[in-house]
Amino acid sequence: MQRKAWIGGRWADASSGQTREIINPVDGSVLARVPEMSADDVKQAIAAARRAFDEGPWPRLPARERGTMLFKIAEAIRARAAAFAEADTRNMGKPIVEAEFDVADAAHCFEYYGGLASKIHGETLEVPDTALSMVMREPVGLVGQIIPWNYPLLMAAWKLAPALAAGCTTVLKPAEQTPLSALMLAEILESLDLPDGVVNIVTGDGPTAGGALVTDARVDKIAFTGGLDTGRLVIKGSADTIKRMSIELGGKNPNVVFADADFEAAVDGALFGAFANQGEVCSAGSRLLVERSIYSRMLDALSEKSKRIQLGDPLDRQTKMGPLVTREHQQKVLEYIDIGRREARLVVGGGIPRDSALAKGFFVEPTIFADVDNRARIAQEEIFGPVLAVIPFDSESEAVRIANDTPYGLAGAVWTRDVFRGIRVLKQIRAGILWLNTYHPTYNEAPWGGYKQSGFGRELGSYGLEQYLETKQINLNLSEAPIGWY
């Protein structure tokens, strides 16, 4: 199947005619071919978005009309929910049940910002003069948005919905591995007659297509979600033109279990925190910190229960873990597992599943390492796969110290029946997203983002809308007397 990019309200091929094969990670088969767009192709999309912002109706529409369009997008996503879920499952490898949750959440995201579009407001300020000051909020302008491959539709929604609610125009670049659901979303935008150029979706690799977005002076803001190394390049490239930025990078997130926790709930939470979406989650609980008095019992329970995690075709509703996104990423994760064998004690997993039915896919077993030193590479570097590092601790203060001892600060959790201790520890963990006695729930109403090298800025909630607004001061002179300075 040949797909096209979406530029200026038209379907577009790459000017070179080049295409990229989109691969099904279950068996390596080709799902589709999409344009491999050059920097010049992306510049055409930027030009279309620039015209749509500077001259088009979208930023000038009443906010309620923009909100109504977002409600229509949500309704259309729900009408095609099964197709979107299947597309993300086939393209990325996540279990179909998880993909269905993602699609529902994407629709909710558009609805949330549809309602928020008409709630953008400013202020009037009393000032020490015969004057009145007003504060107005305006769209930041043309936004370049670069999203990762682990949540293809949901990440598109997280970026597009607040930008559209604010009145911005956008050029969205999905990950080169997983563009299909974003292009399906473009079909919805076409059917709803969104003004030409308001949303443009370009396909291609990061250095070329993404790089063109980052460096073009016509782009007012970059919103990026991805890995730390790429994030550094985005920040450096955006700095030359002083772009606004919101940057969400990786995590090496602590999941802290105290001895008084509900044991079975904590075991489930540790496995789900580490292995949901094959561990290909920036907020995954990839470091499990366990109080020493229950450490051995926890390892035994994790080992036993991990055997119930069914690997297989992600379209099978019984499957709990699908393949990793690409062969290249599978190899990267396996290399980290080899490093882990030298740094710690392998408890379970550690390789490719032996089931011959999975041989063509990019599968990796759920893998658990014990007795991990927090300075080990498998405890400090983001693996982005189904690899859990288990670390013992003896005291609350030691747990906090270990939890904070990484360059990252995205997410984390604490498991304890002592709510006072739970809140006390959560307040000391330097991360932007934290849970008590659960792991992974995400809400459109709450801000998402990290501390330290996990990035800056926030998505979701009213905080996410703020990232797409500029603040303008207007002063009204209420005196008829001349200034008289000269």
How confident is the model at residue 33, as a pLDDT?
98
> C-alpha distances in angstroms, 166 versus 218, 236, 430?
18, 26, 30
Instruction: Tell me the pLDDT of the chain (486 aa) as tens digits.
Output: 899 999 999 999 999 999 999 999 999 999 999 999 999 999 999 999 999 999 999 999 999 999 999 999 999 999 999 999 999 999 999 999 999 999 999 999 999 999 999 999 999 999 999 999 999 999 999 999 999 999 999 999 999 999 999 999 999 999 999 999 999 999 999 999 999 999 999 999 999 999 999 999 999 999 999 999 999 999 999 999 999 999 999 999 999 999 999 999 999 999 999 999 999 999 999 999 999 999 999 999 999 999 999 999 999 999 999 999 999 999 999 999 999 999 999 999 999 999 999 999 999 999 999 999 999 999 999 999 999 999 999 999 999 999 999 999 999 999 999 999 999 999 999 999 999 999 999 999 999 999 999 999 999 999 999 999 999 999 999 998 888 888
How confident is the model at residue 481, as a pLDDT?
87
Nearest-10 crossing angle of helices 81-92, 152-166: 120
Cα gap 169→182, rounded to integer Å: 16
Cα-Cα end-to-end distance for the chain? 73
- List the catalytic residues: 248, 282
> Which DSSP category does 407 fall into?
S
Tokens 């005619």 sit on residue: 17
Torsion sign across C-alpha atoms 84, 88, 90, 95: negative
CATH pick for 5-249+454-473 out of 3.40.605.10, 3.40.50.970, 3.40.50.300, 3.30.450.20: 3.40.605.10
Nearest-10 crossing angle of helices 63-79, 152-166: 160
How confident is the model at residue 378, as a pLDDT?
98
Alpha helices in 117-262 (DSSP H): 152-166, 180-191, 211-215, 228-239
- The residues, any chain, with a CB within 8 Å of residue 465's CB and separated by 6 or more, are 113, 116, 120, 162, 165, 166
For 381, other C-beta atoms within 10 Å of its C-beta total: 17
Q: What is the CA radius of gyration of the chain?
A: 24
Q: Looking at the chain, which residues constitute the CATH 3.40.605.10 domain(s)?
A: 5-249+454-473
How confident is the model at residue 75, as a pLDDT?
98
Distance of CA 151 to the CA centre of its chain: 7
Tokens 């994030």 sit on residue: 231
Residue type for 243, please? K
Cα gap 149→454, rounded to integer Å: 17
Residue type for 356, please? S
Cα gap 43→49, rounded to integer Å: 10
Tokens representing residue 214 in the block? 């980052």
429-436 CB contacts, 8 Å cutoff, 24+ apart: 429/254, 429/400, 429/403, 429/404, 430/404, 431/251, 431/253, 432/458, 433/283, 435/411
How confident is the model at residue 325, as a pLDDT?
98
How confident is the model at residue 484, as a pLDDT?
83
How confident is the model at residue 486, as a pLDDT?
87
* Domain made up of 254-436: CATH architecture: 3-Layer(aba) Sandwich (3.40)
Q: How many residues does the chain have?
A: 486
Q: Looking at the chain, which residues constitute the CATH 3.40.309.10 domain(s)?
A: 254-436
